[in-house]
A and B are shown apart, each in its own frame.
Chain A
Amino acid sequence: MRRERYAKLQHQLEGQELDGLLLLGTGNVAYATGAAAPAVDSARAAFMRQVAVVRPGEPAPVLFTPYPDGAPSDVEVHGPLYPDLDDGAAVMADLFAPGARVAADEVTHPMSRAFAGLELSPASAVLGPAKLLKTADELECIRAAQHLNELAMADVQPLVRPGVRQVDLTARFLRRIFELGADANGIDPIWQVMPPTKAEGPWTTHGDIAFPTPSSERVLEEGDVIWVDTGIHVEGYASDFGRTWICADDPRPSPRQHDQARRWREVVEAVLALCKPGVSALELCRAAIAANGGTKPWIKHFYLAHGVGTDSAEMPLIGTDLGEAFDEQMILEPGMVLVLEPVIWDDGASGYRSEDIVAITDEGWVQLSDYPYDPYETT
């Protein structure tokens, strides 16, 4: 898997006539090197960075890391760099020859001073095409991460009863993922109580639903509609778990709530019916809208679907404010991963949201997620 990914990066560097790729972002370094590192807060991630360098023609990436034990044996490993400090970045000036054309994902001010002679361009032009299509091994990693995430959620779901706090659910979830063998947690788990109407929820810039908002010590009550969203990492790959649950000792959705879940399923079925190589993302959006009676079944600031890989949301992004022209040129290919997350909202009766993950195959698609929709009936 690492060799295949590295070959893709080499291919992009050569095709774009670049002299190097310089990566500071956690998910990007994981992609380029396969190096494992503990999950850390963003501030720690900034000062105790892993830095990856890929040069065209070189047999392996170079990794500068505070966590050398996590580096694969075929990676050239060095001690950590400190790109956020002037004395740390000064060392980095020697990484590339003066005048070199280098794609980078972040350029700290100390780096900017140290790199005065370099021609810098966005790393997304190199990483984007490489990360878009997953290899069979990558798909297995996503499936494994998702499976482990789902096992942990199966232990959490029975706890969603009146009187439980959001952080109690988090506590159980985090303990379980590590008992089950997760490498890292990716996001503070979300257990958001959805209001009956948009107006009863937080004010938003666009008038649509506020989601996802952070969890707290809020106590859940009988009948609360809970939108859950969690994500972990296994072998560097992210999972993405989304479901709607109801807080109750014996949760029994109303007929209207069951209907919301069925409509959600109809949207997903309409999209999946089109999922095969050659179909555009715009066609998926139109099918989803048609299945929802002409209204967009997703939140304005998000998407109908997004990819997942070493980052929890990556290309292809489908149905965003990048616009129809962007969606139209995004053509499905084997190896693309879609996290489908339509939202059904009935103002006055709250809504339903779940996430299902599929990978595009030569013939159509294959499912990577596998968790029941209980207590909702979707058929």
Chain B
Amino acid sequence: MVRLERRRRLFDAMADHDLDVLVLGRPADVVYATGARQLWTSGSRPFGPACLAVAETGRTHLLSTWDEGVPPELSHDDLYGLSWNPANLAASLAKIPGLSSARRVGTGSLSPGFPRLIKALASDAELVDGTPAIWAARVTKTVEEIAAIRRATAVAEAGLAVMVEALSPGVTERQLLAVYVERIASLGAPTPPSEAVATITGDLVALDAGAMVDGYEGGAAGTWTTGGERVVDERCRASLEAVVAACRGGATGADLRRAWESTGQPMPAVPLVHGIGLGMEPPIVAAGVGDDAVLAEGMALSVTARVDGFVERELVFL
């Protein structure tokens, strides 16, 4: 029961961080808290109160105008409908039991108007950063979550395979994207983590395919020639292996960065290592960020090495 376990972890984390209410806006956080199936749109979403978890009642409240895709542990009373009018939204939220008396309200993010909304709904509440509690719950994975990541990886591998089959001199990145999305959609997983799946550099084609199954992301990558031959660059492979070997509980982002740099490669601007679960997650280790991140047992990590047009990727479960 992945939903019940996630819910338990979230409420435990709220207790540990002394939060009476946690306001979530990011779709992945909402999935974590409720298991509800939401309409997928590409790109970032403006931050808003899409879900509230209330410690006093142990209930989660979800912005959803209907109950389709909403798990049975949420009752109709736990749903509030879509509003374009902030006053109507505030009126819906005001009905949530336990919100008005909250002392500490954590949020997943903020917008310039958000503190005013919280002040109106919970006048005595201190507004605090809710992300430490969110990530305390999310960052280590249950066995079922890891199984979901593996299922998504199997779909991603199928998407990768169909791109490899489509390789031929003159093939374009967009043609490869076309066959990839067709394949993952036909396997029931139509929302790619990223549409940047193919990068052609001269005769080299770096393929990095992802997939999302039940909200969880998996991925697989490698390098081929435009003629369809798998090619492994020794530097790229060695750099990947050095970082993977450094991935263990207690290691820091700085340890991973040093493992990478020890192979003579400059730090990439895009993440070398990131958490993987309900999409991309912390810890994120890239040029300029992530030195202080600390790895822990139970984390799922994606390690990607990119060297001179080559790519190699491995998922690591600590």
Determine whether the beta carbon of A66 is less than 8 Å from that of B68: no
Task: Kindly state the interface size class of chain A when it binds its partner.
Answer: 35 or more
Q: A47-B284, A184-B195, A187-B42 are in contact. Are A203 and B67 (CB under 8 A)?
A: yes
Cβ of A329 within 8 Å of any chain B Cβ, yes or no, is no
B-binding segment of A210-218, A276-284, A288-296, A330-338: A210-218
- Rounded to whole angstroms, the CA-CA distance of A275 and B187 in the bound complex is 45
From the candidates A39, A122, A323, name the one contacting B111 in the complex (CB within 8 A): A122
Interface string of A21-56 (1 = CB under 8 A from B): 000111100000000001111111111110000000
- Rounded to whole angstroms, the CA-CA distance of A276 and B178 in the bound complex is 40
Determine whether the beta carbon of A109 is less than 8 Å from that of B44: no
Q: A43-B28, A85-B284 are in contact. Are A106 and B47 (CB under 8 A)?
A: yes
From the candidates B76, B131, B217, name the one contacting A109 in the complex (CB within 8 A): B131
Residues on the B chain within 8 Å of A178, using CB: 174-175, 177-178, 181
Q: A188-B39, A206-B81 are in contact. Are A168 and B186 (CB under 8 A)?
A: yes
Interface string of A49-79 (1 = CB under 8 A from B): 1000000000000000011000000000001
* CB of B195 to closest CB in A, whole Å: 4
Cβ of B113 within 8 Å of any chain A Cβ, yes or no, is yes
* CB of B49 to closest CB in A, whole Å: 14
Which residue in chain B gives the minimum CB-CB distance to A49? Answer: B44
Within 8 A of B (CB), among A64-104: 66-67, 79-80, 82, 84-85, 87-88, 91, 103-104
Determine whether the beta carbon of B65 is less than 8 Å from that of A45: no
Interface centre among A175, A187, A216, A323 (most CB of B within 10 A): A175
Residues on the A chain within 8 Å of B42, using CB: 26, 39-42, 45, 184-187, 233
Q: A43-B26, A104-B112, A186-B42 are in contact. Are A214 and B288 (CB under 8 A)?
A: no
Which residue in chain A gives the minimum CB-CB distance to B128? Answer: A109
From the candidates B175, B179, B193, B290, name the one contacting A85 in the complex (CB within 8 A): B290
From the candidates A26, A87, A112, A188, name the one contacting B43 in the complex (CB within 8 A): A26
Which residue in chain B gives the minimum CB-CB distance to A66? Answer: B270
From the candidates A87, A172, A216, name the one contacting B291 in the complex (CB within 8 A): A87
Determine whether the beta carbon of A47 is less than 8 Å from that of B274: yes
Determine whether the beta carbon of A43 is less than 8 Å from that of B278: yes
From the candidates A105, A172, A217, name the one contacting B46 in the complex (CB within 8 A): A105
Determine whether the beta carbon of B178 is less than 8 Å from that of A179: yes
Determine whether the beta carbon of A321 is less than 8 Å from that of B43: no
From the candidates B37, B194, B271, B281, name the one contacting A214 in the complex (CB within 8 A): B37
Determine whether the beta carbon of A203 is less than 8 Å from that of B76: yes
Which residue in chain A gives the minimum CB-CB distance to B79? Answer: A205
Cβ of B129 within 8 Å of any chain A Cβ, yes or no, is yes
Residues on the A chain within 8 Å of B27, using CB: 42-43
From the candidates B66, B212, B282, B287, name the one contacting A202 in the complex (CB within 8 A): B66
- Rounded to whole angstroms, the CA-CA distance of A112 and B107 in the bound complex is 12
Interface string of B281-317 (1 = CB under 8 A from A): 1101011111110000000000000000000000000
Which residue in chain A gives the minimum CB-CB distance to B181? Answer: A174
Residues on the A chain within 8 Å of B269, using CB: 66, 79-80
Cβ of A204 within 8 Å of any chain B Cβ, yes or no, is yes
Cβ of B251 within 8 Å of any chain A Cβ, yes or no, is no
Cβ of A116 within 8 Å of any chain B Cβ, yes or no, is no
Cβ of B168 within 8 Å of any chain A Cβ, yes or no, is no
Which residue in chain A gives the minimum CB-CB distance to B130? Answer: A109
Residues on the B chain within 8 Å of A344, using CB: none
Determine whether the beta carbon of B110 is less than 8 Å from that of A106: yes
* CB of A315 to closest CB in B, whole Å: 10
Residues on the A chain within 8 Å of B107, using CB: 109
Cβ of B260 within 8 Å of any chain A Cβ, yes or no, is no
- Rounded to whole angstroms, the CA-CA distance of A184 and B282 in the bound complex is 26
Which residue in chain B gives the minimum CB-CB distance to A204? Answer: B66
Determine whether the beta carbon of B289 is less than 8 Å from that of A85: yes
Which residue in chain A gives the minimum CB-CB distance to B132? Answer: A109
Residues on the B chain within 8 Å of A88, using CB: 288-289
Q: A41-B212, A106-B110, A205-B65 are in contact. Are A214 and B40 (CB under 8 A)?
A: yes
From the candidates B37, B111, B284, name the one contacting A106 in the complex (CB within 8 A): B111
Determine whether the beta carbon of B174 is less than 8 Å from that of A122: no
Which residue in chain A gives the minimum CB-CB distance to B292? Answer: A87
Residues on the A chain within 8 Å of B43, using CB: 25-27, 39-40, 42, 45, 186
Q: A174-B181, A178-B177, A301-B81 are in contact. Are A44 and B279 (CB under 8 A)?
A: yes
- Rounded to whole angstroms, the CA-CA distance of A85 and B290 in the bound complex is 8
Interface string of A97-129 (1 = CB under 8 A from B): 000000111111100100000001111000000
Cβ of B222 within 8 Å of any chain A Cβ, yes or no, is no
- Rounded to whole angstroms, the CA-CA distance of A183 and B267 in the bound complex is 29
Cβ of A350 within 8 Å of any chain B Cβ, yes or no, is no
Residues on the A chain within 8 Å of B178, using CB: 174-176, 178-179
Determine whether the beta carbon of B188 is less than 8 Å from that of A48: no
Determine whether the beta carbon of A214 is less than 8 Å from that of B69: yes
Determine whether the beta carbon of A122 is less than 8 Å from that of B112: yes
Residues on the B chain within 8 Å of A309, using CB: none
* CB of B306 to closest CB in A, whole Å: 12
Determine whether the beta carbon of A202 is less than 8 Å from that of B67: yes
- Rounded to whole angstroms, the CA-CA distance of A110 and B292 in the bound complex is 15
Cβ of A189 within 8 Å of any chain B Cβ, yes or no, is yes
A-binding segment of B9-17, B51-59, B82-90, B223-231: B82-90
Determine whether the beta carbon of A204 is less than 8 Å from that of B81: yes
Q: A87-B288, A87-B290, A174-B190 are in contact. Are A204 and B174 (CB under 8 A)?
A: no
Residues on the A chain within 8 Å of B69, using CB: 213-214
Determine whether the beta carbon of A43 is less than 8 Å from that of B286: no
* CB of B157 to closest CB in A, whole Å: 17
Interface string of A149-189 (1 = CB under 8 A from B): 00000000000000000011011101110110100111111
Determine whether the beta carbon of A41 is less than 8 Å from that of B192: yes
Determine whether the beta carbon of A320 is less than 8 Å from that of B195: no
- Rounded to whole angstroms, the CA-CA distance of A67 and B269 in the bound complex is 10
Query: Could you name 14 residue pairs across A and B whose Cβ atoms are closer than 8 Å?
Result: A24-B44, A25-B43, A39-B42, A43-B26, A82-B284, A107-B109, A109-B131, A121-B112, A170-B185, A171-B183, A172-B182, A175-B182, A317-B84, A321-B83
Other than A42-B43, A167-B185, give 8 A-B pairs with Cβ distance below 8 A: A38-B194, A47-B274, A91-B288, A123-B112, A185-B195, A186-B42, A205-B76, A321-B88
